[in-house]
Structure 1
Amino acid sequence: MIEAQGLRKTFTTRSRKGTQTVEAVRGVDLEVKKGEIFGVLGPNGAGKTTTIRMLSTLIAPDAGTATVAGHDLLKEPAGVRRNLGYVSQAGGVEDTTSARAQIMMAARIHAVPDPGRATAEVLERFDLTELADRPGRTLSGGQKRRVAIAIGLVHNPPLLFLDEPTTGLDPQNRANLWERIRQLREAGTSVLLSTHYLDEADALCDRLMIVDHGLVVAEGTPSDLKREVSGDVITLRVDEPERAAETVEPLARETRVDDDLLRVYVDDGEHTLPVLLRALEERGLGLSSIALDRSTLDDVFLAKTGRTLRDAGADA
């Protein structure tokens, strides 16, 4: 559904302090297959939204090429737009207009043959029929998100772009929207989803790429990416973490020190942990806490960039 190579975008801003140039996207390649949820995971400012806006024809790339839903991004932008739905971070739901009227307008803009029927069908699909004639300002955050996705899907596109779809939603509404997104995949819709939530990327995405400072730092399935880093992570709060890292290095695939925390990446934490503790005890290194966990996507980000998503400014 999407094949992109070398996408780049630079913004220039002017202020009293002078002109500043920001390389928002610095050469992104990506491929989204038919009927999959593909995630773009990264901190705020990593280039996620800029990448999606380029692929949706809202802004032109400075360099690179892409084919979206069978149409050349630069030569056939109208064909690209006909074949995709786009839901921005803001959602785009009007406060004073009913959900039905907004969806109907979107259907007419896309020249849907029977806009009334298409509107009714998408309202039912997202359990919005009872809310259809209420103005947008009376809807909850989760309801507004469902209306926004309905607007993006009323013309039945094969490809949907969701930019930070669950930002600001409570856990119940997030879980509900996750299930809606899975249903889209089951119905054959390809979804390109940007997020800075680790659990969201892990739970929803068939494949994903992790971006930082406008570059792709890792790509693959969530399980493959975590397996690449390590099977398990032993996190120790320890005296003299640098000396402790030297002590356990022979037992680990990798060690990382973060202030007084030592992260030890191993293949089999259950069997490695007793040996590791004996080694630290023999060196007289005291522990104040210890935890054994499976690797997370935050561990992948840490391994690729040297910092966690939290440190990078994401609400992870």
Structure 2
Amino acid sequence: MTTQQAQAIHVQGLEKSYKELKVLRGVDFAVARGSIFALLGSNGAGKTTVVKILSTLLKADAGTAGVNGFDVATQAADVRESISLTGQFAAVDEILSGRENLVLVARLRHLKNPGKIADDLLARFSLTDAAARKVSTYSGGMRRRLDIAMSLIGDPPVIFLDEPTTGLDPQARIEVWQAVEELAERGTTVLLTTQYLEEAEQLADRIAILHEGRIIVNGTLAELKQLLPAAKVEYVEKQPTLEDVFLTLVGTDGKNGTPAMTATPARTRKEQR
């Protein structure tokens, strides 16, 4: 397999301006197939603009970009067949049930056995018990998991998650993290944009920091840590974090007395790398 074939996403010299405002100033990065790539940056750094260009919703002023072997400018239809995009807010129909949302999307994609597709995804994302309930009754984490499940209908090889945990509570964030990790384990390439440092640290195989329209650093977590001098090692008694306290008290399902799940499951895949 050539280097180009091993890359699910390839971006070179990407530029975009809105009148006098230069949003992207020559962005370069590549994403390996079946990996999680985090594009990290503050608000206004250009993360969503990159995603919009890669998903053919926006045209770049300069540079090239390819997704799943297709050029976003000249082969837009092929790119759209290869991807799924989940925005910052869950795009689900609250009047319908969870299962009805999934069946609707499967039918719109003209897939066979939409009911089976829906049931398989409900099971995969631990939503079977809530399948018949209206989405308006779902928690934030359940809605986001359903949103991601809907984006997987048709088995796209590449998925864009644009700040998927914005506005979610700690429990819901962990639920989404686990769903994202499972995507990569099944071979899906994930490009994740986020402004949460911990999210990028826990999930990503590689992290790129986008600042003022440019990638200022790109590497694994270990490589990024090497950019700073090693800290002096001293014995310090480890204190629980606020997240540890919160999850211990309420559990991941929000019910007092439920055995707590700490953030450990969300770290499992990263610790194995």
TM-score normalised per structure 2: 0.79
Map of 1:146 onto structure 2: 145
Map of 1:61 onto structure 2: 60
Deviations 1:237-277 (A, max 9, x none): xxxxxxxxxxxxxxxxxxxxxxxxxxxxxxxx138xxxxxx
Deviations 1:162-217 (A, max 9, x none): 11111111112211221121111111111000000111111110001000111111
Distance 2:119 2:77 in 1: 26
Map of 2:233 onto structure 1: 270
Q: CA shift at 1:70, angstroms? A: 1.6
Q: CA shift at 1:98, angstroms? A: 2.2
TM-score normalised per structure 1: 0.69
RMSD over aligned CA atoms reads: 1.5
**What secondary structure is seen at the aligned counterpart in 1 of 2:184?**
helix
Q: CA shift at 1:136, angstroms? A: 2.3
Which structure carries more strand by proportion? 1
Misfit runs of 4+, over 4 Å: none
Map of 2:104 onto structure 1: 105
Residue 8 (structure 1) aligned with residue 8 (structure 2): no
Q: How many residues align?
A: 227
**What secondary structure is seen at the aligned counterpart in 2 of 1:103?**
helix
What aligned pairs does 1:1-316 form with structure 2 within 5 A after superposition?
A: 1-12=8-19, 21-232=20-231, 269-270=232-233
Are the counterparts in 2 of residues 84 and 161 from structure 1 also a CA contact under 8 Å?
A: yes
| Cα pair distance change 1:7/1:105, threshold 3 Å | farther
Are the counterparts in 2 of residues 5 and 29 from structure 1 also a CA contact under 8 Å?
A: yes
Q: Which amino acid is the alignment partner of residue 164 of structure 1?
A: E
Distance 2:59 2:101 in 1: 27
**What secondary structure is seen at the aligned counterpart in 1 of 2:207?**
strand
- Bigger radius of gyration, 1 or 2? 1
Are the counterparts in 2 of residues 118 and 155 from structure 1 also a CA contact under 8 Å?
A: no
Distance 1:6 1:136 in 2: 42
Q: CA shift at 1:137, angstroms? A: 1.8
Distance 1:224 1:231 in 2: 12
Q: Which amino acid is the alignment partner of residue 200 of structure 1?
A: E
**What secondary structure is seen at the aligned counterpart in 1 of 2:101?**
helix
Distance 2:109 2:60 in 1: 24
Structure 2: where are the runs of 5+ without partners?
A: 1-7, 235-273
Distance 2:51 2:90 in 1: 14
Distance 2:107 2:52 in 1: 23
Structure with more relative contact order (C-alpha pairs < 8 Å, separation 6 or more): 2
